[in-house]
Structure 1
Amino acid sequence: MLARTEKITFQGDAGAIDCALDLPMDPPLGWALVLHPHPLHGGARNNKIVTTIARACVERGLMALRPDFRGVGSSEGEFDAAKGETTDMQQLVAQFAQQYPEAAAGKFVLAGFSFGTSVAAQLYSALKAESQKLPDALMLVGSAVDRFKFRDIDVPDHTFLVHGEVDEVVPLSEAMDFARSRELPMVVIPDASHFFHGKLVTLKALVQQRLASI
Structure 2
Amino acid sequence: MAVRTEQMVFQGLAGDISCAIDWPDGEPRGWALVLHPHPLQGGARDNKVVTTIARSCVQSGMAAVRPNFRGVGGSAGEFDNAVGETADMLELIRQFREQYPELVAGKWLMGGFSFGTSVAAQVYSTLAQEGRPVPGALVLAGSAVARFRFRDVHVPADTLLLHGEDDDVVPLEEAMVFAREKGLPMVVVPEAGHFFHRKLTIVKQFVLQRLALL
Normalising by structure 1, report the TM-score: 0.99
Structure 2 counterpart SS, 1:11: strand
The CA deviation at 1:8 is 0.3
Instruction: Give the AA of the match of 2:177.
Output: D
Separation in 2 of the partners of 1:71 and 1:206?
31
Q: What is the match of residue 190 of structure 1?
A: 190
**Match status 1:20 vs 2:31:** no
Structure 2 counterpart SS, 1:2: coil
**Match status 1:38 vs 2:12:** no
Instruction: Give the AA of the match of 1:2.
Output: A
**1:59-115 Cα deviation digits (max 9, x unpaired):** 001000000001000000000000000000000000000011111111010000000
Separation in 2 of the partners of 1:105 and 1:83?
28
Runs of 4+ residues over 4 Å off in structure 1? none
Structure 2 counterpart SS, 1:138: strand
Aligned pairs for 1:1-214 within 5 A: 2-214=2-214
Aligned length: 214
CA RMSD of aligned residues (A): 0.6
Separation in 1 of the partners of 2:2 and 2:37?
23
Percent identical pairs in the alignment equals 63
Separation in 2 of the partners of 1:37 and 1:192?
17
Separation in 2 of the partners of 1:152 and 1:201?
33
Separation in 2 of the partners of 1:172 and 1:138?
19
The CA deviation at 1:213 is 1.1
Separation in 1 of the partners of 2:138 and 2:64?
14
The CA deviation at 1:51 is 0.3
Separation in 2 of the partners of 1:203 and 1:30?
20
Separation in 2 of the partners of 1:104 and 1:70?
25
Structure 1 counterpart SS, 2:3: strand
The CA deviation at 1:2 is 2.2
The CA deviation at 1:167 is 0.2
The CA deviation at 1:3 is 1.3
Instruction: Give the AA of the match of 2:6.
Output: E
Separation in 1 of the partners of 2:96 and 2:39?
23
Instruction: Give the AA of the match of 1:33.
Output: L
Task: Please list every run of 5 or more consecutive structure 1 residues that lacks an aligned counterpart in the other structure.
Answer: none
Separation in 1 of the partners of 2:144 and 2:55?
23
Normalising by structure 2, report the TM-score: 0.99
